[in-house]
Amino acid sequence: MSGPRTPDPLALVIFGATGDLTRRKLLPAVYRLFLGGLLPADFAVVGFGREEMSDDDFRARMRAALEEHAEAPDAARWEAFAPRLTYLGVGFEPEGFGKLREHLEGLGAAAGNRLYYLAVPPNVFSGVVENLGRAGLAKPPDERGWTRVVVEKPFGRDLESARRLNAELLRVFDERQVFRIDHYLGKETTQNLLVFRFANVIWEPLWSRNHVDHVQITVGETVGVERRAGYYDQAGALRDMVQSHLLQLLTLVAMEPPASYDADSIRSEKVKVLRSVRPMAREAVAREAVRGRYAASRRGNVPGYLDEEGVPAGSRTETYAALRLFVDNWRWAGVPFYLRTGKRLCDRATEVVVRFRPAPHPIVDLVEGDDPVPNTLVLRIQPNEGISLWFEAKVPGLVGRLQPVSMDFDYTSFGVESPEAYQRLLLDAMLGDATLFARRDEVESAWTLVTPILEAWAEGGEPEPYPAGSWGPEGADRLLEQDGRRWRAP
Ligand code: BG6
């Protein structure tokens, strides 16, 4: 995690500049960094795409994007910001990259360092990387400069394709130049997981199989497939969410304290966790993994996945996935990690729940049926960002009743607005800090874990339906009930 340093002068080249990500996330993030005084005096943003457009048209579009997704710039700020934006509608063929080189050379001081942002669909990805290499744009323009590449998801669709992408990238770039983004790592609350664990001594003695009964990681979304069926139907919940965001959260919860807080020490510890997760044998998939697909809501006002625009007839894509994983190492042996994520659930909630073991001996004189609830720590990643620790308390009175109560920390108590994930990540990539980006072996280890499940699901069967607006399929409840446990309702 870096301090408020200012990056070197740089040109940010966005491939896929006319796409949704640029409008919704990237440009608003750049603009907020600019407003916060976190960008160098010499910076340039070069939009690169297929569509022909003048610089002024591009600027107008980006201004509209800021109005919609950030804030409407006032005249003075816009005047200072707009000239930094230029656009090249030269297409993704090799000639376009020659033009990009010329364009970059004309940018003055900002041309010395280059950050390429690959916000392009997977079928364009390899071509961009190769053409950057061929045009001599992968190397820094001189020995004092640097060149880096930020890669958006999806990073492959299984282990084999991820390896291929890595090989293609690393033929042209060095691993130290590659920044694979997982925007969950840029969320303040995700970053706080490490601070919570390693800047406080009270958790460490409890943070293991000796005191933890199990861990739940939930990423619930209320949105459906939106207008992304083209991508989503090829992906599904396991690829879209579990392989990246949920496994990243798991590594942060389960990792050992790193020897130091540099990018490689932290990422090496995360890789060790992924490598310790017990691989799921094909025959275990039916027992350890559940897939679901939303059907119409009970009131019928929300369509089911199969009736969404762009979803092909006969699709077997899951919009929900739940897994039971075990981290087979000294710290976690025997402690289940239950992961679940889905679209069209009843609540938007991302949280990590650490459930501790029950007290070993019951308190005498309890009212009958008043079972003590084990301690529970809830780390709310979003929304209502915060942390709650639940513990038992005696209800005042002459009979010995117990009731769970909580100690709560609320992020809003800082009185400052959390930066958007993309702000943090873009700034880190500009500064060359790769801590919050996935390393090659991390991505491949995550794919190694989910690929047997993908393969087993591809062999046949259908996802279990769940009504839109519910907490997912019943099979996911049974996954925990078999172990005598229940999902915690966020
Ligand atoms: C993306 C997925 O990576 O994360 C989307 O492709 C999902 O399907 C999104 O909706 C969720 O992100 P957030 O930040 O809204 O929780």
Under the banding of pLDDT at 50, 70 and 90, the label for residue 1 is very low
Residue nearest to ligand 1 atom 13, measured at CA: 184
Torsion angles phi and psi, residue 328, rounded to 5: -85, 80
CA 244 – ligand 1 centroid, Å:
10
Q: Residue 376's Cα: distance from chain center in Å? A: 24
Residue range 311-324, pLDDT digits in tens: 999 999 999 999 99
* Interval 103-118 mean pLDDT: 89
Task: Report the SS3 class of residue 203.
Answer: coil
Closest atom, ligand 1, to C-alpha of 228 = 8
* pLDDT at res. 4: 64
245 is catalytic: yes
The answer to whether residue 6 scores a pLDDT higher than 50 is yes
Angle at 44 between CA 170 and CA 156, to 5 degrees: 30
Residue 101 burial by CB count (10 A; 0-12/13-18/19+): exposed, middle or buried? middle
What is the Cα–Cα distance from 177 to 209, expressed in whole angstroms? 38
Under the banding of pLDDT at 50, 70 and 90, the label for residue 298 is very high
Q: Does ligand 1 come within 6 angstroms of the Cβ of 221?
A: yes
* pLDDT at res. 366: 66
CA 270 – ligand 1 centroid, Å:
21
CA 223 – ligand 1 centroid, Å:
10
CA 278 – ligand 1 centroid, Å:
26
CB 46 within 8 A of CB 22: no
CA 241 – ligand 1 centroid, Å:
7
CA 414 – ligand 1 centroid, Å:
26
Which residue from 157, 191, 227, 241 has its CB within 8 A of the most atoms of ligand 1, so it is best to mutate? 241
Better-predicted residue by pLDDT, 400 or 242: 242
Residue 145, CA distances (Å) to 98, 129, 176 in order: 19, 19, 14
Residue range 362-389, pLDDT digits in tens: 776 666 667 789 999 999 999 999 999 9
Residue range 424-469, pLDDT digits in tens: 999 999 999 999 999 999 999 999 999 999 999 999 999 999 999 9
Query: Given 69, 103, 245, 361, which residue is catalytic?
Result: 245
Which residue from 155, 245, 249 has its CB within 8 A of the most atoms of ligand 1, so it is best to mutate? 245
Closest atom, ligand 1, to C-alpha of 153 = 3
* pLDDT at res. 113: 94
Give percent above pLDDT 90 in the chain.
87
CA 254 – ligand 1 centroid, Å:
23
Residue nearest to ligand 1 atom 15, measured at CA: 221
Both tokens of 21, joined, read 């990500």
Q: Does ligand 1 come within 6 angstroms of the Cβ of 351?
A: no
The answer to whether residue 115 scores a pLDDT higher than 70 is yes
Task: Report the SS3 class of residue 79.
Answer: helix
DSSP state string for 27-71: HHHHHHHHHTT-S-SSEEEEEE-SS---HHHHHHHHHHHHHHHS-
What is the Cα–Cα distance from 470 to 193, expressed in whole angstroms? 28
The mean pLDDT of the chain is 94
**Sign of the CA dihedral 112, 118, 124, 126?**
positive
* Interval 241-265 mean pLDDT: 96
What is the Cα–Cα distance from 270 to 249, expressed in whole angstroms? 10
CA 166 – ligand 1 centroid, Å:
23
Both tokens of 137, joined, read 């744009």
Under the banding of pLDDT at 50, 70 and 90, the label for residue 107 is confident
Task: Report the SS3 class of residue 220.
Answer: strand
Please state whether the predicted TM-score (pTM) of the whole model is above 0.75: yes
Task: Report the SS3 class of residue 408.
Answer: strand
Both tokens of 136, joined, read 């001599």
Q: Does ligand 1 come within 6 angstroms of the Cβ of 182?
A: no
Residue with tokens 């591809």: 458
Nearest CA to 341 out of 228, 460, 482, 244 is that of: 244
- DSSP designation for 19: S
Closest atom, ligand 1, to C-alpha of 154 = 6
Under the banding of pLDDT at 50, 70 and 90, the label for residue 169 is very high
The answer to whether residue 3 scores a pLDDT higher than 60 is no
Residue nearest to ligand 1 atom 2, measured at CA: 240
Distance separating the N- and C-terminal Cα atoms of the chain: 29
The answer to whether residue 121 scores a pLDDT higher than 90 is no
Which residue from 221, 247, 343, 382 has its CB within 8 A of the most atoms of ligand 1, so it is best to mutate? 221
* Interval 67-73 mean pLDDT: 92
Closest atom, ligand 1, to C-alpha of 245 = 3
CA 361 – ligand 1 centroid, Å:
43
Q: Does ligand 1 come within 6 angstroms of the Cβ of 240?
A: yes
* pLDDT at res. 74: 93
CA 186 – ligand 1 centroid, Å:
13
Closest atom, ligand 1, to C-alpha of 219 = 16
Residue with tokens 């446990």: 485
Residue nearest to ligand 1 atom 4, measured at CA: 241
Other CB atoms within 10 A of residue 18 CB: 18
Q: 409-440 in b/e burial notation, b at 16+ Cβ within 10 A? A: eebeeeeeebbbbbbbbbbbbbebbbbbbbbb
Nearest CA to 374 out of 185, 162, 216, 217 is that of: 216
* Interval 238-261 mean pLDDT: 97
CB 473 within 8 A of CB 321: no
- In 205-355, which ranges are continuous DSSP H helix? 229-235, 237, 247-254, 263-276, 285-288
Residue range 338-369, pLDDT digits in tens: 999 999 999 999 999 999 999 888 776 666 66
Under the banding of pLDDT at 50, 70 and 90, the label for residue 400 is confident
Per the DSSP assignment, residues forming a β-bridge with 382 are 350
* pLDDT at res. 2: 46
Residue range 186-207, pLDDT digits in tens: 999 999 999 999 999 999 999 9
Which residue from 20, 184, 424 has its CB within 8 A of the most atoms of ligand 1, so it is best to mutate? 184
Which residue from 151, 240, 352 has its CB within 8 A of the most atoms of ligand 1, so it is best to mutate? 240
Torsion angles phi and psi, residue 45, rounded to 5: -115, 120
Torsion angles phi and psi, residue 327, rounded to 5: -100, 105
* pLDDT at res. 199: 96
Give the strand order in the sheet containing 10-15. Answer: 85-88, 43-48, 10-15, 114-118, 147-151, 178-181, 437-438
CB 302 within 8 A of CB 224: yes
Closest atom, ligand 1, to C-alpha of 244 = 3
* Interval 387-408 mean pLDDT: 91
Q: Does ligand 1 come within 6 angstroms of the Cβ of 444?
A: no
The answer to whether residue 407 scores a pLDDT higher than 50 is yes
Residue 141, CA distances (Å) to 11, 24, 144, 204 in order: 12, 31, 8, 47
Mention every residue, 6+ apart, whose C-beta is less than 8 A from residue 28.
65, 66, 69, 70, 420, 422
